[in-house]
Every structure is written in C-alpha cells, then in structure tokens.
C-alpha cells in the first residue's frame, strides 16, 4: 500500500466521519466545525489529485469564507444544542432509510457500469489542475460563462440588499 493509498483512505475516512458528525452534532456550532473538517479532507483529496488550485480555493472560499459566514450567522442567532430542534424519531429513521436507499441504488448502478471497469484516476501527476492551465482555459474557452456568472453575483448582491436591508 503506497502513501497515496494510505492518504486516500485516511482522507476518505476523515471526510465520511466528519460528514456524519455534521449530522449527529446537536450543537450547530459543532456541525459547522465538523463541516470545515470535511472541507479540509476534501481539499486533501484535491491535493492528492494534483488539483492545487481547487484545493486552495476550496479552503479559502468554502472553509474560510462560507463557513465563517455560517458560523457568524449561528453565533448571531445564538443557536446552541439546547435550542436545536429535533425531528421525530420516525422521521429521522425514514430520512436515513430513504437516503440509504438512494445510495444503494446508485451504488448498484455504478457496480454494474461496464464502462467504468478498469478505469483509474490519475493521482498526483497531471497538470490540468495547475493555476496556469486553469486560468488559461477559464479566460479563453470559458470566458462566456465566467462573464455570465457575474450576473449571478450581481443578482445575489441585489438579493442580499433586498432581503437583508431593514425597511
């Protein structure tokens, strides 16, 4: 077992464990922290896949900006384990079972997928994940969606104003 494998398994286990902890934590603040851990694990995966740019962005944008925003909101609302509402047991069970079913059917589909047999992921090498290459592609081939997504931000901005501003 190579280092890559070990790292893969470790990061995977970490991601899944942290993800589960996001769910089971009663305290929303803990959930946020566990989620940040998931993001870290995923960033680790990115690095493993030699997608450095995304790894960084993931950390900065997600783990950094977005999760801080979440944390900020939760703190603002003063949410904690005591105030955290809990679903009825049966509803939780139903949720877990149906989510599990969803996983099962998808996994069984993947297992049967013949075209995915014998395909492997290029680990650690490959330079498409480098900032230079991504940047080149982003500002040449993908300039249209890039520009258009500015509209998205504009509307999000307007939205934040409309919704957030006190009348």
* Binding to another protein in span 108-127, by CB under 8 A: 109-116, 119-123, 126
DSSP conformation letters of 40-89: HHHHHHHHHTT-HHHHHHIIIIIIIIIHHHHHHHHHHHT--TTT-----H
CA pair distance 104, 94, nearest whole angstrom? 15
Minimum CB separation of residue 107 from another protein in Å reads 6
Q: Which of 76, 82, 90, 132 binds another protein (CB under 8 A)?
A: 76
CA pair distance 27, 25, nearest whole angstrom? 5
Minimum CB separation of residue 29 from another protein in Å reads 10
Minimum CB separation of residue 155 from another protein in Å reads 4
Cα angle: 51, vertex 53, 58; to 5 degrees: 95
* Residue 33 contacts another protein per CB under 8 A: no
* Residue 40 contacts another protein per CB under 8 A: no
Q: Which of 6, 10, 75, 103 binds another protein (CB under 8 A)?
A: 103
* Residue 81 contacts another protein per CB under 8 A: no
């Amino acid at each position: 077992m190579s280092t890559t494998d070990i790292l893969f398994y470790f990061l995977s286990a970490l991601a899944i464990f942290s993800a589960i902890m996001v769910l089971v934590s009663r305290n929303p603040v803990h959930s946020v922290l566990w989620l940040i851990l998931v993001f870290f694990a995923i960033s680790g995966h990115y690095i493993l896949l030699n997608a450095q740019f995304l790894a960084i962005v993931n950390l900065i944008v997600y783990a950094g900006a977005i999760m801080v925003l979440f944390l900020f909101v939760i703190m603002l609302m003063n949410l904690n384990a005591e105030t955290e509402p809990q679903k009825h047991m049966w509803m939780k069970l139903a949720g877990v079972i149906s989510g599990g079913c969803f996983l099962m059917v998808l996994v069984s589909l993947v297992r049967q997928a013949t075209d995915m047999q014998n395909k492997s992921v290029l680990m650690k090498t490959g330079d498409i994940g480098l900032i230079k290459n991504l940047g080149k592609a982003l500002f040449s081939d993908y300039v249209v969606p890039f520009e258009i997504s500015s509209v998205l931000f504009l509307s999000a901005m307007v939205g934040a104003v409309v919704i957030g501003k006190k009348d």
